[in-house]
Amino acid sequence: NAGVTQTPKFQVLKTGQSMTLQCAQDMNHNSMYWYRQDPGMGLRLIYYSASEGTTDKGEVPNGYNVSRLNKREFSLRLESAAPSQTSVYFCASSEAETSPTNEQFFGPGTRLTVL
């Protein structure tokens, strides 16, 4: 099992460019999440998908869109990148949003720089 995979690992964009971060999991999990990690801020939830076909905003959704393509894949799109979106992005998945333990498994992260 690969677990949670993310592509790309690194990306540099110019302000105004768009890109899509890809995430896939092979654990048959129902729920998937996108976080960003900034120094001193901890992990902040951007969007999540409790189950296939549903998506909801997290703490910091502005400037992002998501697509839950199928049960395995959850993509994050930046339509017009801004320097404030320079961050490390983590995708995670869990068995079910409401399970008592709801352990989330994280991907390796994408380091994005917007110039």
Partner 1 sequence: ILNVEQSPQSLHVQEGDSTNFTCSFPSSNFYALHWYRWETAKSPEALFVMTLNGDEKKKGRISATLNTKEGYSYLYIKGSQPEDSATYLCASRSTDSWGKLQFGAGTQVVVTP
Query: Which of 11, 18, 13, 26 is CA-nearest to residue 107?
Result: 26
* Alpha carbons 73 and 58: distance in angstroms, whole number: 18
Task: Using the minimum distance from each CB to partner 1, give the nearer residue, 96 or 115.
Answer: 96
When asked if residue 54 is in the footprint of partner 1 (CB under 8 A), the reply is no
When asked if residue 27 is in the footprint of partner 1 (CB under 8 A), the reply is no
Name the residue with tokens 């801020």.
Answer: 41
Binding residues with partner 1: total (CB under 8 A): 27
Per-residue x/- track, 28-47, partner 1 (CB under 8 A): ---x-x-x----xxxxxx--
Structural tokens at position 49 = 């998908």
Query: Which of 18, 15, 11, 5 is CA-nearest to residue 93?
Result: 5
When asked if residue 53 is in the footprint of partner 1 (CB under 8 A), the reply is no
Give the burial class of 94: count Cβ atoms within 10 A of its Cβ; 0-12 exposed, 13-18 middle, 19 or more buried.
buried
When asked if residue 93 is in the footprint of partner 1 (CB under 8 A), the reply is no
Q: How far is the CB of 78 from partner 1 (least distance, A)?
A: 21
Applying CB under 8 A, among 87, 104, 110, 114 the residue interacting with partner 1 is 104
Structural tokens at position 33 = 């999440």
Q: Which residues bind partner 1 (CB under 8 A)?
A: 4, 31, 33, 35, 40-45, 48, 50, 58, 90, 94, 97-98, 100-109
